[in-house]
Structure 1
Amino acid sequence: AGPGHPTAGWWSDLVGPGAAIDTDRFFVVAPNMLGGCQGSTGPASIAPDGYEWASRFPYLTIRDQVAAQALLADRLGIGSWHAVVGGSMGGMHAIEWAVGHPDRVERAAILSAPPITTADQIALNSVQMDTVRVDPRFAGGEYYDAGDGDGPHRGLALARRMALLNYRSPTELNSRFQRSWQSGVSPLGRGGRFAVESYLDFHGNKFTRRFDANSYLTLVEAMNSHDVGRDRDGVEDALGRVTATTLVLGIDSDRLFPIDGQHRIARGVPRTLDGDSAVVLSSDFGHDGFLIETAAVAAHLRRLLAS
């Protein structure tokens, strides 16, 4: 937690003195993503003409973002990394680092990430993107000077609610909320709501206070671009280029990036910690399990970093 970021980050249990990623031993570099809205250049950044990039911001791929990170490493004078660690979209970056820059990555941790973004995942993403674009306040992406400071918050909140359903599992939602009401007013008539509806609303609205709609579209499109085998003779040939000792980890209840994708990575990478199979954590939390089951994730990261 700090100025501009009122709550602590997800990684506090994994990164720090004595933690799995031990800052008493390692210098940790955590670059913001190109195209994001909290540090690196993104659609809300000011272009050379003095106006926001907005809809003019270029299409980015995962490979473009890793190319920017490689330039950062050059600037910092880092020839190779002891480890590149990432989960979900960050896991796409980690695998792209290991395939595209094998001489610069000694170890890689790929957590809950796929080798490619599938048609099913692209379809889910496309609905989220259209939800943002149909908000009248989106204005084709040119909403920064609207004057009301609102922007397409309703569309962005709804897109986030849709995404959250992919991040969590049916088991967790059903056991956590069941058919409970949010208040004493029945949801079977007018005015009442189910507790799970309120939960989704809360997280959707919270997201709009810290994120930019154009960045959301830019980053979702980058995830859609992900195909580690593109222009590399396919996924298996691409994975065969990896020389890093690799940890591949997935969650058994992940419905966003199902475990078969992690197993495919593990089969294709020559040097994994666990042979031809990914490490599979059992969790009711779905895709977000890699962020929540920190003790189990930490144990496997310690194995990797000690290898």
Structure 2
Amino acid sequence: MPEPTRIPGGWRVGDPAGQRRFQALAGLDPLLLESGESLPDVSLAYEAWGTLNAERSNAVLLLHGFSGDSHASGPAGPGHRSEGWWNGLIGPGRAIDTDRLYVLCPNVLGGCQGSTGPSSLAPDGRPYGSRFPSLSIRDLVAAEQRWADALGIEHWHAVIGGSLGGMRAMEWAIAAPTRLDRLVLLATTAACTPENRAFHSTQIQAIELDPAFCGGDYYGDPGGGPVRGLSLARTIARLTYGCERELERLSRQQHAHDICLFLQQDAEHLTCRFDANSYVLLTNAMSNHDVGRGRGGIAKALAGVQARTRVVSISSDRLFPPHQQLLLAQCLHAGVTFTSIESHLGHDGFLFEQGPLDPILRQSLG
């Protein structure tokens, strides 16, 4: 694998803010985590589109996937390496219509695009690195609830999330059932399976076995830290995000040996915008995701969801296969709607199949 051309990582203080806004979490108390540890001085980066109405009743919470961030809509440019990941779905007259809805998308706690995470400065003025505490999906949502409170948003017209974002959306609906009217869950699961955890484990090992990882304390390394390990982790993950049909399609479009080049370029794109510690932290949070933990099981936990719910699966998803979304739909109340999108794009279909998603979102948000 060639040497990187740029010191990798996520957004850093001093970089162009782009469309990001920043909100310190309200209250003087540190954020208490499930592990018993706490985080002081937490801040979340977010982006917003549209206008909050006088009744404060038109806010939509959009929760990004694992490698996503707050830049769901808008052009590439200073502060944003790529255009918005749902660019075709958010805006005036679009499926998520900003003429009538106020849409907010926060970068997840522990992430690396402006929110407090391992690369952030701890109270002693040094990056957290290995000292950053472990997080659960419920911790991520607890931070988002404080963030919403700080913004004065007590109720959501809808909460929408795919993959990791869908896990968070579920936790919102379970932990705060009266705070949202509608819930849209895409390509996600109520609990990670042993197979998910096995794939996650190999990705984490790829990073931690890179000598440049230094136990997580690699900030300031002129070589950029564990670039090779992070690249390999992304390649393993990319094979779970895609599917056999997608790789066959790519092989027909290119020479067969160029599949390796495709995976390498995809990994290099990730290393330029993602922090290895955040990768490990959020992967572990996903591995431990189980909405039924401490709640009497998945069915009992989901039975408490009050929001009108839409569950969307991608036919070729092998990370979170359609039968997992069917289980979700079966455990939710009778008003749930289940939709399957036919796609050869695998798990990433929830990002790229924007044509089929358009009417689904319009109907769900109506």
- TM-score per shorter chain, which class? over 0.9
Q: Distance in 1 between matches of 2:138 and 2:236?
A: 26
- The corresponding residue for 1:101 is 176
Determine whether 1:87 maps to 2:147.
no
1:291 aligns with 2:351: yes
Tell me by how many angstroms 1:127 deviates: 0.2
CA contact (8 A) 1:80 1:105 kept: yes
Aligned to 2:122: 47
User: In structure 1, how many angstroms separate the alpha carbons of the residues matched to 2:335 and 2:252?
Assistant: 40
Higher strand share: 2
User: Where in structure 2 are the equivalents of 1:9-48 lying within 5 Å?
Assistant: 9-48=84-123
Residues 208-234 of structure 1: CA distance to partner in whole angstroms, max 9, x if unpaired? 111110010011011112101111100
2:251 aligned partner: 177
One of 139, 157, 160 as aligned partner of 2:231: 157
Let me know the Cα RMSD of the aligned residues: 1.2
For residues 255 and 310 of structure 2, the distance between their equivalents in structure 1, rounded to whole angstroms, comes to: 42
SS in 2 for 1:176: helix
Measured against aligned partners, the alpha-carbon deviations of 1:224-262 in whole angstroms (never above 9, x if no partner) come to: 121011111000000100000001000111000011110
Q: Is the 8 A contact 2:329 2:336 kept in 1?
A: no
Q: Look up the SS of the partner of 1:226 in the other structure.
A: coil
Q: 2:339 — aligned with what?
A: 279
Aligned-residue sequence identity (percent) comes to: 48
Answering whether residue 267 of structure 2 is matched by residue 220 of structure 1, we say no
Amino acid at match of 2:297: G
Report the counterpart of residue 305 of structure 2 in structure 1. 242
**SS of corresponding position for 1:158:** helix
1:28-62 CA deviation, whole Å, 9 max, x = no partner?
A: 11011000011110000000001100000010011
Please list every run of 5 or more consecutive structure 2 residues that lacks an aligned counterpart in the other structure. Answer: 1-75
Deviates more, 1:167-176 or 1:111-120: 167-176
Tell me if structure 1 keeps the 8 A contact 2:162–2:188.
Answer: yes
SS of 2:310 mapped into structure 1: strand
- 2-side partners of 1:195 and 1:16: how far apart? 37
State whether residues 248 and 272 of structure 1, in contact with CA within 8 Å, keep that contact through their aligned partners in structure 2: no
Q: 1:272 to 1:298 in 2, by over 3 A?
A: farther
Rounded to whole Å, the distance in 2 between the matches of 1:180 and 1:266 is: 39
Residue 272 of structure 1 and its aligned partner are, at CA, apart by 3.7
**Consecutive unaligned residues in structure 1, runs of 5 or more:** 183-193
Aligned residue pairs total 291
Runs in 1 of length 4+ with deviation above 2 angstroms?
A: 178-182, 271-274
Query: Displacement, 1:94?
Result: 0.8
Match of 2:215 among 116, 140, 148: 140
Where does residue 5 of structure 1 map in the other structure?
A: 80
The structure that is helix-richer by fraction is 1
